[in-house]
Amino acid sequence: MARYVISQSQLFDLVENFMAEQMVGGEVRKRDTDDYGNTRWDLYSKSGKWLMFYIHYGPKHMNGKVVEDESGYLALQHSLVTLFMRNLRFRESKVLDLLADWFTKTFDVDIDSVDIYMKHNYD
């Protein structure tokens, strides 16, 4: 099997192009912010397939004081991560980082943790 060396920017361009193709005609469903300041976004591909969700957690308060800062959580569909792992021959952690970087750049949000979501109930 041939091996190729590409730069970090070429790698990010590859991820960006693939995800842009998936999202053209796709949909971002942003739910209303709840009473705690939490907001969830679900991303669907052009074929209507669920790809990932992002949750922005608002700051947590106790007795009128902030006890926990805002944070962002990204959950990726298992098959999306597997697709990148198989085609790029990368470890799972590298794929998670790449997709989190894409999401951060695309939607201008901060992500504090990223994980794989094995099952999604379409609600």
Examine residue 111 and state whether it is found in any structural domain, yes or no: yes
Domain extent for 82:
8-117
At residue 119, the pLDDT reads 62
Examine residue 13 and state whether it is found in any structural domain, yes or no: yes
The model's pTM: 0.83
Examine residue 123 and state whether it is found in any structural domain, yes or no: no
Look up residue 23 and give its DSSP letter.
Answer: H
Work out how many domains the chain is built from and give that number: 1
Report pLDDT digits (tens) over 74-121.
999 999 999 999 988 889 999 999 999 999 999 999 999 999 987 655
Report pLDDT digits (tens) over 17-48.
999 988 889 999 999 998 888 999 999 998 99
Query: Is the predicted pLDDT of residue 65 greater than 80, yes or no?
Result: no
CA dist., res. 105 & res. 85, Å (int): 21
- Buried-exposed string 89-98: b where 16+ CB fall within 10 A, e elsewhere: ebeeeebbeb
